[in-house]
Structure 1
């Protein structure tokens, strides 16, 4: 078995659990001078600027003062801002067929448990397209160069960095790698659907301080519409975001449902990370989870404890619910590998944790951007590292959707989702509330 040195994945400490605790736990707030208007027919008045005009779903995103926006004569509300902490930046792994030939495959418990090499004997996801709505996908990563359609990729943020790069951080590249990392380049890791085409839809922007990421709800809606318009078979939203019910849920929920319904009718399966607050979404009345949209597939996270570290054998199996995952019968459609950790270890200083504890997280691609003090983009370092969260679970399902679509090109989004659900099963001894239809089984899904 390939055994990387500890230095090869330096800084795989508590901060990398940011993928589980902060990397996808999004805090919502009201934006200033930016609004979502329930009309696509508005015309600029005063100092109002059109940011996104989404004709297909009858709404606009505008920038301006509320006084001027009110004069537009349509219902509106402040755009929502989402922010998340940027975890410690890991170091790159230097590197220069089939999934098993990838040098880090033995550390990919998620792909091994899903029997991905056997899946690839049937399909690698050829003929499909997947949109990654996230912090940005590094098209230059050695394991993603084959997959990213740079021309179709779009930057939906206000910054000027463009698309197909990790300008908002490495989260989106890790998500993209879970979907489509190259299984035939004898480098790094393998994705579940390496034959699919990826489109980067960047909605997070790096702001000052550079460790802070920010996204707008309006940009996410625009990215969903765009994904549908370019014919994406699936779109991954590892955002874990909530819409506060109190005073907000009705307006924003209506726009979300309208947008996701449009995407579904255009043929795009939307896959949502359920979030990482250990919350029962079915009974929590404070929030509307994004996976509650009528056309979304909500995904919870599972993971092992004790994968190739500690005593022989696993304390918890690969399909056991992760300690952080949100759950709820009406909110979760499928559970998938997202990574877990022994909670007691998180109470220890990093230097006192046993070697290899982080292997219970999900290993895949990262691309770490660097910026000058003035905010100028300086470049990127490519590598691999472990993250955990429903953010890592969602792209497992998104990739599986591409695999099913590849062997059933006539399937509608609902048929793709149904195929995944039929193939899944709730593991013996576990509660349905964590799994919805069950634990993801892409091999059974593609076999039909």
Structure 2
């Protein structure tokens, strides 16, 4: 049995209390254990359980801690020794904030399963630093209960017995992967623009608002509520609806309109002044491409800067145009191309990254061994999310939990490796 989960985004809680409760993992493991017991009762041959943590497990970017350090000591700076030390401190806080969950993982899940469970970790973009530094690699292994030393983690996973090839999937997101088509270690270590966007824009904006003198003068209860609302910004889906989310917050906090707009301006100006961002713009702003990646980001930031100038009625059509720039599912387009370099026993491509659970049929292949179905699956996320309403300017939130299970032919007594995928939804607030 091969199980995939991804995009858990454990955080240090400085940029929001968004960690998944331990009970969710306990229920998940109990469900898997129940499946194993049921299959064994039916004389099916389940001899192993492998759990793959498919990236963005530890979120070292969504934190306010980086703001306390000079820019050169942040992940897009050059002071590697300091960056490593700060990343270790953030990682340690993440573990402490999720102590019960990691104790459950580290202790071998002995209470849930009658035999050892192998845990496999594939880094994503938010935990890129976890694979960059030997000490962090050791800490990851200790936290997840993975045997081994400080060796580098693989960025993909293949198992022909289950017919699966998997990677986090950010490799096909031009804002979150800066490497080449070899997808090697050095490719994955290059800093993408998504890193400073997450920290210097998304995590910084709520922090910036809370520094404003008008906000500081509010009663504590109002300040806390305002901070919680803005800290949900990275949980807005689709991502392209982020600008509308900010408009929505301004509408709901009209007395703070000026303070919010001032804070947005300050965050954008600070972002654009970053040496890394300037160099990234220069490298990606191609005169031969009318709408390259640099143009898309600059267009979105331009709109944010014009909050004070344009009315909601004037800005909404421009927002719709910007949303079109970010609407394409690059991972869905990439999945069919993966098979060209894979073992012909691979049937299933598995990614995470998008936070959107998905099963998409790719093709049917006829070969001497029989008919094969190629399918792309996305493992979604366990994080709560806010969704733009179809009508009006509003957002509704709920939580999802997605996991995908693959079986060998022997485990399910089938002619091919089988799979099942489950997504649960909770609306409780």
Question: Scaled by the length of structure 1, what TM-score is found?
Answer: 0.28
Name the structure with the higher helix share: 2
Larger Rg: 1 or 2?
A: 2
Name the structure with the higher strand share: 1
